[in-house]
Chain A
């Protein structure tokens, strides 16, 4: 006779009710309820974003000088990233320890100290409580009790790490160091774009996605969809046969790099062949760009890689599409909506020609991007498509069942990798 007083043996302690169907073993099935439930969304904030993960906060360049700060969120919690007089970056919760009001209200700013507007409690740039208005009362009346020690009352501080100018933070004391968390290959690929460079922000936009955040981060890791959903390059016959590419999936599964490069060997062979023209892809299309200068980018990293999409679990993306460079930060807004923050970047030493090319190729990306606008709506198509199907699941078998690096991009290995890391974090 089962003892109904015992807690469920299945690990759904964080959910308000058991899932509609169990999550099948392995990495090739994803139940749709995971995109639909508010209790899952709440669990993710505490176990994923505020769990054993590193989360992107801002660019080091955005808080370049002592006193510069950036207000953002991590797992829904308001966070301040601040550069102190000692040159280091600190992150702490943007919440006054007195009555809980926000300490800083602007997204970006410069401060010598932070003072809560409500009752003027003040904090230094590392987030230590330094002042309490009328602490000793007025004319001997009122004031805080003798035993109140300011040192015992500070906003919660987060671990921070800077990787090639990217500021990450973690609410976890047990998450491994960022280098280990990212893995060597992902570190190298971040360095390929950003190492030793002085970043300059050239634009910031927020795209509101009508879908669960995981549908977007799946999409980012989904190298399989690129030439199928995004028809711009095909329509205008801009694809080249002589491309090679691959996929790197980190050990944890959570981080990935998808890249494609000009295959110089294949290109040389094709050129040598007498029927060079016949080797180009033929399509039915008669369309040509009126102004093809949009694609006359430079090989600025000197390795022929024209596309590198890199993600870090859970919500960070570094994008290089030709000369269009951007950071994307994925922020859940409940179970059915997501904020996608785009930061377009260049480098301080860009030549005018290269900078202009970044602006021009900005047309490829973002909410109006020739090869990205579809990503803004396709997550919504899934979100709407799976209504009433919370007992069904998605199929992820393209390229096998594992989550390992591969030479092909016709695979869902990095999507499976995401779910591997996700299930590890959430226990679902």
Chain B
């Protein structure tokens, strides 16, 4: 995997969420993936709980189904702006990278706010076709504060 492969995957990931194609979002992950949204303070203290916490792609699909069918929240969208990924050496478990993000939240009435900043701590593995998939994504938000609610994934 080259840095350009990771950057391309990140760009597709951001567009997938920002254009409301959430049904395709689990496809960025491996079957036995781990996905967690936490905060810098929790991460530093080693606290394992997450705002969202999944250890299978099925749980990500359930998250999307719940958002579509069950949960109630005001319509809104995100705009992800991603920084450059910092790549680590590729090891036996895969390739690790760290990518900073900014996410603005646009409410149905047009109100736009900076919703979250943070970094993705990722573990990438190639699928059968050689495409990078997320075996692990820990979303570490810089702030411990969440405004109103967290519905769409980061």
Contacts A206-B144, A207-B149, A373-B151 given; does A231 touch B42 at CB 8 Å: no
Q: Are A373 and B149 in contact (CB under 8 A)?
A: yes
Which residues from B are CB-within-8-Å of A294?
Answer: 59, 62
Among B49-92, those with CB < 8 Å from A are 49-56, 58-59, 61-63, 65-66, 69-74
**Chain A: how many interface residues by the 8 Å CB criterion?**
42
B117 at interface by CB-CB < 8 Å: no
Would A210 and B148 count as touching, CB distance under 8 A? yes
B58 close to A290 (CB less than 8 A): yes
Is the CB of B10 closer than 8 A to any CB of chain A? no
**Bound CA span A414–B121, Å:** 44
| Residues of A close to B39: CB separation below 8 A | 205
B73:A377 contact, CB within 8 angstroms: yes
Please encode chain A, from 197 to 212, with 1 for each CB lying within 8 Å of some chain B CB and 0 for all others. 0000111111111100
Whether A209 lies near B148 (C-beta < 8 A) is yes
Q: Once the chains bind, are A290 and B61 in contact (CB under 8 Å)? A: yes
A73 within 8 A of B: no
Is B47 touching A203 in the complex (CB atoms < 8 A)? yes
- Distance in angstroms between the alpha carbons of A290 and B29 in the assembled complex: 15
Residue in contact with B49 in the complex, picked from A235, A362, A377, CB distance below 8 Å: A362
CB-based contact A231/B72 at 8 Å = yes
Does A12 sit at the interface, judged by CB under 8 A?
no
Q: How many whole Å from B59's CB to the nearest CB in chain A?
A: 5
Q: Answer yes or no: B93 CB below 8 A from chain A CBs.
A: no
**Contact between A367 and B62, CB atoms less than 8 A apart:** no
Q: Of the candidates B47, B48, B59, B148, which one forms a contact with A377 in the assembled complex, judged by CB atoms under 8 Å apart?
A: B148
A-B pair number, CB within 8 angstroms: 122
Q: Is the CB of B58 within 8 A of A291?
A: yes
- Quick check: is A47 within 8 A (CB to CB) of the other chain? no
Is the CB of A359 closer than 8 A to any CB of chain B? yes
Given A232-B66, A235-B70, A370-B70, also A363-B52 (CB < 8 A) = yes
A208 touches B145 (CB 8 A): yes
User: Which chain B positions have C-beta within 8 A of A235?
Assistant: 66, 69-70
Q: Are A362 and B61 in contact (CB under 8 A)?
A: no
A287 near B: Cβ within 8 Å? yes
Q: Who on chain B is nearest to A340 by CB?
A: B146
A377 contacts B74, C-beta separation under 8 Å: yes
Chain B residues in 8 Å Cβ range of A204: 41-42, 47, 144
Of chain A, the residue at the smallest CB distance from B59 is A291
Give, as a whole number of angstroms, the nearest-CB distance from B143 to chain A.
9
CB contacts (< 8 Å) of B97 on chain A: these are none
A380–B48 CA distance with the chains assembled, in angstroms: 30
Docked-complex contact B52 and A208, CB < 8 angstroms: no
In the complex formed, the residue of B with least CB distance to A231 is: B70
**Given known contacts A287-B69, A291-B56, A201 and B47 CB-to-CB distance under 8 angstroms:** yes
Bound-complex Cα distance A234 to B72 (A):
13
A291 to B47, CA, bound (A): 24
| Contact of A368 with B148 at beta-carbon distance under 8 Å, contacts A203-B38, A232-B66, A291-B58 already known | no
User: In the complex the two chains form, is A287's CB within 8 Å of B65's CB?
Assistant: yes
**In the assembled complex, how far is the CB of residue A225 from the closest CB belonging to chain B, in whole angstroms?**
11
Q: Among B62, B71, B151, which residue has its beta carbon within 8 angstroms of that of A290?
A: B62
B11 within 8 A of A: no
Q: Can you list 9 A-B pairs, Cβ within 8 angstroms, ordered by A?
A: A202-B48, A208-B147, A291-B61, A339-B145, A344-B49, A362-B49, A363-B59, A363-B63, A377-B149
Q: Which A residues are closer than 8 A to B by beta carbons?
A: 201-210, 229, 231-232, 234-236, 285, 287, 289-291, 293-294, 339, 344, 355-356, 358-360, 362-363, 366-368, 370, 373-374, 376-378, 380
A202-B49, A291-B62, A377-B148 given. 11 additional CB < 8 A pairs?
A: A207-B148, A207-B149, A208-B147, A231-B69, A291-B58, A291-B61, A294-B59, A367-B146, A373-B71, A377-B72, A380-B148
